[in-house]
Structure 1
Amino acid sequence: MPLRMKSDAITLDCPDPPALAAFCQEATGLELHPESDADFAGLSREDGLLLGFQRVDDYRAPSWPGQADPQQLHICFSVGDDLDGAEARLLELGADKPEFQPHDKARARVFTDPAGHLFCLVRS
Structure 2
Amino acid sequence: MELSAITLDCADPLALADFYHRATGLPLHPANRPDFAGLQRDGGLLLGFQRVDDYRAPEWPGQTVPQQVHVDFDVDDLAATAARLLALGATRPEPQRDPDRFLVLIDPAGHPFCLCPRRAG
SS across alignment from 2:9: strand
Runs of 5+ consecutive residues of structure 1 not aligned to the other structure: none
Within 2, Cα distance between the matches of 1:31 and 1:84?
24
Within 2, Cα distance between the matches of 1:100 and 1:119?
14
Q: Which residue of 2 aligns with 1:97?
A: 92
Within 1, Cα distance between the matches of 2:3 and 2:95?
30
Q: Which residue of 2 aligns with 1:25?
A: 21
Q: Write out the 4+ residue segments of structure 1 that deviate beyond 4 Å after TM superposition.
A: none
Aligned-residue sequence identity (percent) comes to: 62
One-letter amino acid matched to 2:50: Q
RMSD: 1.0
The number of residues matched between the two structures is 118
| TM-score, length-scaled by structure 1 | 0.91
Q: Which residue of 2 aligns with 1:65?
A: 61
Within 2, Cα distance between the matches of 1:7 and 1:61?
25
| TM-score, length-scaled by structure 2 | 0.94
One-letter amino acid matched to 2:78: L
Matched, 1:114 2:108: yes
**1:83/1:106 contact within 8 Å kept:** no
Within 2, Cα distance between the matches of 1:75 and 1:11?
11
One-letter amino acid matched to 2:2: K
Shift of 1:117: 0.4
One-letter amino acid matched to 1:71: Q
